[in-house]
Amino acid sequence: MYNNTTLAKSCTMVVFQRFQRLQTLYFASLRLKPHTCNVTVHKTITAGRGHLRGAHEAAPTRRPFSRVTPDDINFFTRLLPGRTVTDPDVLESCNMDWLKSTKGSSEVLLRPKTTEEVSQILRYCNERNLAVSPQGGNTGLVGGSVPVFDEIILSTALMNQVLTFDSISGILTCQAGCVLENLSQYVEQHDFIMPLDLGAKGSCHIGGNVSTNAGGLRLLRYGSLRGTVLGLEVVLADGRVVDCLAKLRKDNTGYDVKQLFIGSEGTLGVITAVSILCPRKPKSVNVAFLGCSSFQKLLETFQICRGMLGEILSAFEFLDTACMSLVENHLRLSNPIAESPFYIVIETAGSSPSHDEEKLHKFLERVMASSLVQDGTVATEETKIKALWSVRERITEALRHDGYTYKYDISLPLEKIYDLVTDMRAHLGSQAKNVVGYGHVGDGNLHLNITSPAGDAALLEAIEPYVYEWTRKWQGSISAEHGLGLKKRNYIYYSKSQEAVRLMADFKTMLDPKGILNPYKTLPDNVR
């Protein structure tokens, strides 16, 4: 079965023994669980940390919205008895983002259960000129999911019902506050999977995923939410409910209005329900964890992989050795293979275990025989697959333990994606604690992260605008999947034309003329 040439035979055989052992990996099966805005009080989070708001956020000025009065609280309490929260301890955690880098000072949290309640809240807020910060699982990384000042927090946490599931078509409709992992478990019972998967799955809400156009680990295979989201129900700033909750794969009756709300980060409307197309659960899943001696070899491995694994390739992720050190040191995960400058996580998902295994083994044989890959392990069993994935998925968590993190989420032409890390490392020298790179090779998406013991203005000045100019030079995007939120809003022109931003501002004015929805986010300060 294996066409081992004499030349490569001995080397290949040794490595294959490693593959075929399917090493007993005992990684913690813990998932990344960012804190959610539940009523539970997170005592560990305290206000007033010196580095809570990085200087790169270019703190905006509070706009002249009304302030919440006792009359307002009375209105909300009548509308949402027991679900209008003013307890400072509870508010503390909802005011703070998961990275602990952005903190608002909202004094009221609303927890509606129905679209009608959301509609009444927004109608009231719009009339009263009260600003609103919509919040899902609060797992965003650009300060988009928490208030900046005293905006009312509108949480989708109690809007967590599955509405319908069609087990013939795989079309799921649900409320916006359903947690992604819960939805995954739900549809898996019916032999389907969610078309997206990401490290924050244990906390993030589907409404937040759609509002931020989340990418994640399966985009390479199942495409973006712009294709898989079939319908939305959205409440506009003035309380109008727009029902575009189609459950059809195809519908060309007029403009696809819902698209504007996908990825608009809650600034144009509040998504209250989602209809999404779920792929069939694959009968066979394999994960290979491989080591490469250079990024060039990693890219060559990717090209061969696309050709040889073709339609069963469902993820091609990478991390550098610095990321591996972080998860080893901060999370006590073990490196499943020999140390390498670069690591690859390849996932295959298909309908025939024997075919998939054969394709994968032929591919591995090829890349090892040609010394593109220097070590590796393969898992086919669910626990071991989860363990391998956790190394990749928990990097964000490890970074949070490493210190204050400057996060960049960059799209670049594939052949350039790691050059930015190398250049940045050289550019910063000893100023940074760590400069690490990981991400989605298949999508040309690099996560560049720079840590320092605390927020550091001089370091920030060295990073920005260097990183943005570098990205623009290669016609990249300064936000591949995280969005702009509060932190990146003023850098939009590095990736968008003046005319496009002007159109965005026109849409905002049209849909939310008072600007009450998630102010200070997404749009740059000069065009609000």
Question: Which residue lies nearer to its own copies by CB, 195 or 336?
Answer: 195
Shortest Cβ distance from residue 145 to its own copies (Å)?
Answer: 14
- Amino acid code (one letter) for 145: S
Tokens of 328: 């080893």
Question: Which residue lies nearer to its own copies by CB, 329 or 497?
Answer: 497
Q: Please, are residues 323 and 252 in contact by the beta-carbon 8 Å criterion?
A: no
Shortest Cβ distance from residue 285 to its own copies (Å)?
Answer: 12
Separation CA 20–CA 12 (nearest Å): 12
How many chain residues touch its own copies (CB under 8 A)? 88
Question: Which residue lies nearer to its own copies by CB, 157 or 313?
Answer: 313
Residues between 250 and 309 with contacts to its own copies, criterion CB under 8 A: 250-257, 259-260, 262-264, 268, 280, 282-283, 303, 306-309
Separation CA 198–CA 32 (nearest Å): 9
DSSP codes of every residue in 420-449:
HHHHHHHHHGGGSSEEEEEEEGGGTEEEEE
Secondary structure (3-state) at 264: coil
Nearest one of 207, 233, 229, 227 to 116, comparing CA atoms:
233
Q: Please, are residues 416 and 474 in contact by the beta-carbon 8 Å criterion?
A: yes
Residues between 119 and 158 with contacts to its own copies, criterion CB under 8 A: none
Residues between 403 and 422 with contacts to its own copies, criterion CB under 8 A: 411-415
The reply to whether 7 sits near its own copies by the rule CB under 8 A is: no
Question: Which residue lies nearer to its own copies by CB, 74 or 475?
Answer: 475
Shortest Cβ distance from residue 116 to its own copies (Å)?
Answer: 14
- Cross-sheet strand order for the sheet of 162-166: 162-166, 171-175, 270-277, 229-235, 241-244
Residues between 458 and 517 with contacts to its own copies, criterion CB under 8 A: 475-484, 488, 492, 494-497, 499-501, 503-504, 506-507, 510
Separation CA 370–CA 116 (nearest Å): 61
Secondary structure (3-state) at 241: strand
Separation CA 142–CA 380 (nearest Å): 35
Shortest Cβ distance from residue 165 to its own copies (Å)?
Answer: 13
Tokens of 282: 């694959």
Indicate the Cα dihedral angle 324, 327, 332, 336, nearest 10°: -40
Residues between 298 and 357 with contacts to its own copies, criterion CB under 8 A: 303, 306-312, 349-352, 355
Shortest Cβ distance from residue 334 to its own copies (Å)?
Answer: 31
Shortest Cβ distance from residue 147 to its own copies (Å)?
Answer: 21
Residues between 181 and 220 with contacts to its own copies, criterion CB under 8 A: 212-213, 215, 219
Question: Which residue lies nearer to its own copies by CB, 29 or 475?
Answer: 475
Ranges assigned E (strand) in 387-515? 404-411, 434-440, 445-452
Contact range with its own copies by CB under 8 A, out of 27-35, 164-172, 179-187, 394-402: 164-172
Separation CA 142–CA 127 (nearest Å): 29
Question: Which residue lies nearer to its own copies by CB, 455 or 476?
Answer: 476
Residues between 67 and 106 with contacts to its own copies, criterion CB under 8 A: none
Shortest Cβ distance from residue 93 to its own copies (Å)?
Answer: 26
Question: Which residue lies nearer to its own copies by CB, 41 or 244?
Answer: 244
Shortest Cβ distance from residue 379 to its own copies (Å)?
Answer: 20
Position among 358, 381, 461, 469 found at the interface with its own copies (CB under 8 A): 358
Tokens of 447: 């996560």
Shortest Cβ distance from residue 139 to its own copies (Å)?
Answer: 15
Position among 445, 449, 451, 518 found at the interface with its own copies (CB under 8 A): 445
Residues between 425 and 444 with contacts to its own copies, criterion CB under 8 A: 440, 443-444
Question: Which residue lies nearer to its own copies by CB, 67 or 249?
Answer: 249
Asked whether the CA dihedral 52, 57, 58, 60 is positive or negative, the reply is negative
Residues between 221 and 250 with contacts to its own copies, criterion CB under 8 A: 223-224, 226-228, 240-244, 246-250
Separation CA 127–CA 250 (nearest Å): 37
What are 452's strand-pairing partners? Answer: 404
Separation CA 305–CA 50 (nearest Å): 46
